[in-house]
Chains A and B, each alone.
Chain A
Amino acid sequence: MGNTGLYLALGVATVLFLVPFYLIVRNALSTDADITGESWRFFPTDLQWGNVKELFDDPSVPFAKALWNSTVVAVLHTLGTLLVCSLAGYGLARIPYAHANKVLYAVLFTLMVPAAVTFVPSYVLVSSLGWVSSLRGLIIPGLFSGFTAFLFRQYFLGFPKELEEAARVDGLGYWGAYWRIVVPNSLNFFAAISVITFISGWNAFLWPLVIGQDQSSWTVQVALSSYMTAQTINIHLIFMATAVSILPLVLVFVFLQRWLVQGVAQTGIKG
């Protein structure tokens, strides 16, 4: 295949991949009449920026509240996962301890149990703690990812030992060496994992659906899903909501693309 053919193929694929984004933006800025009209329009007759205000003013679905919930959940989910899993990964990778292997096997075992399969008993547990429809219920059970801890372990195994040894000669314990030497020298990896974790937290659906039983605890994804069955809402508002919901992540993509790609590559290859 010549160069022209390559670019042609990639061009066609690009158009296909971008069609859904075009549809979201087109519909979000249209009137319902434009969307459902007799003949297909590539562009709305008139861009309806007022749809943004209409979306947030609509009382039937608390979209602003859902956005806030998603933000809190995704941010705390990310920070918590990074903290808990990176510490565990470091302990498993670096601290020689008689029973460390048993702990490692306990972590590895959970990799074989698909998280989504345990949602029934997890729900039962969380509801018995009284955490249904609460941010706690949305965030805390998801922090203990065996997979993320394992990724951190693999990463720390490859971390240059000399740096830590120098720090320890200077009198730092494991804890001090970790925070002052290891973490500052691993920011790229932390950034990569945090972007991936943030995206999965923002896009999660099954667990928020199970836990978010009151409207007040809906995340953006649950709110979007509710539009699909609601009879009252207007189609242009559904797409405006969709556009607003993906905007933060598209921004994350544009600015953090490098870490994201690197992070995904690392997850796949070294995991």
Chain B
Amino acid sequence: MATTTPTPSAAKGPAPRGAAPVRRRPRGLGGSRGRALNFWLFTGPFLIGLIVFVYVPIGWSLWLSLHNAQGTVTPTEFVGLGNYADMLGDGDFVDSLVNFTIFAAIIVPITYALSLTLALLVHRIRFMKAFFRSVFFLPTACSFVVASLVWKMSLFNGLRYGMMNTVLGWFGIDSIAWLASPHPPWYWLVICSARLWLQCGFYMILFLAALQNIPRELYEAAAVDGAKPGWQTFRHITLPQLRATSVAVVLLLLIAAYQAFDEFYNILDEGRATWGRPPLVDLYLQALGANQDYGHASAGALILALLIALVTLVQGRFLGFGRGDEK
């Protein structure tokens, strides 16, 4: 890199140091060549990495997805869109998309409501604000693996000594085998509650920041107009003012749900349970399982990427992506 940086200030001739009243132009920065060099100096390392570790894999993925690439990454047999058709006809992959949809339908609205509620509560109190904020945010320090461990081996353990079953026992309710079978689907409760615990604090902080930015005058004006504090002001002032944040939160939640892997993999026995298997676990097993089927896994990954793009676009259309953004 040293060779590409003839420091502009040194390269240019001596600046008229004596010409005091004339406002000097910054030295060596005017030339477009100098700017180009500087631009690449700053962005070059990042761009090279981006190309090698993001663009090349995307391209490779595209290429693999069009080939029969089982157990090899340099396939020769071109199969066109066959892998895509296979994946869309494959029960497990389609099931995983359905599972994702169920998961998103549960986790997105509940996280939204709970984190907003926590933010409103914390925002309204005067004392111990920092304490409560910290408590709700603290789970962010834990990984999904940690949460899975606690949930699976202590909180929702199927045996008597799981905490939930102990608590149920106090009320005379029999122990529940939370993860033993898909009927009834208790595993959704286990998985969703783990994720709720982990992510609510994070989104609460986003809402708190947004709540602080709502001008106080709006509430004062509403009070003058006779709006009762509580539901009315919440519906007509707070919620509309939170619009931009809400759009961002819902989008982030959807994308995070799409990429769910850790807790499903760990809670449901390395994803071996075919029920409750989300797309990423399915693709992981396709690519790194016994078959090492990179062609099908790549096709599945691209289908998934397309779906995410589609959801983003649809959400943008309906919720006015960025329209509510102040700046």
Contacts and interface: CB of A to CB of B under 8 A. Distances in A.
B42 A23 contact: no
Contact of A253 (B141, B159, B304): B141
A257 interface: yes
Given A24-B150, A144-B46, A228-B149, A121 B161 contact: no
B36 A253 contact: no
Contact of A261 (B45, B137, B159): B137
A145 to B, nearest CB: 9
Residue of B50, B249, B305 contacting most chain A CB atoms (<10 Å) = B50
Given A174-B42, A205-B261, A125 B56 contact: yes
B101 interface: no
Given A221-B145, A252-B141, A97 B259 contact: no
Interface residues of A, number: 98
Contacts of B201: 17
A169 B73 contact: no
Interface stretch (A5-13, A46-54, A57-65): A5-13
Contact of B50 (A110, A128, A264): A110
Interface stretch (B22-30, B85-93, B217-225): B22-30
A91 B61 contact: no
A19 B312 CA distance: 35
Nearest to B130: A257
Q: What is the predominant secondary structure among interface residues of chain A facing chain B?
A: helix
Contacts of B45: 84, 87-88
Interface of A: 3, 6-7, 9-10, 13-14, 17-21, 23-24, 27, 35-38, 40, 84-85, 87-88, 90-92, 95-98, 100, 103, 106-107, 110, 112-114, 116-125, 128, 140-141, 143-144, 146, 149, 165, 168-169, 171-176, 178, 199, 202-206, 209-210, 221, 224-225, 227-229, 235, 238-239, 242, 245-246, 249-250, 252-253, 257, 260-261, 264-265, 268-269, 271
22 contacts: A6-B124, A7-B125, A14-B132, A19-B163, A21-B138, A27-B154, A92-B43, A95-B38, A112-B312, A117-B308, A119-B283, A120-B294, A121-B298, A124-B73, A124-B294, A140-B49, A173-B7, A173-B9, A203-B144, A224-B145, A268-B248, A269-B206
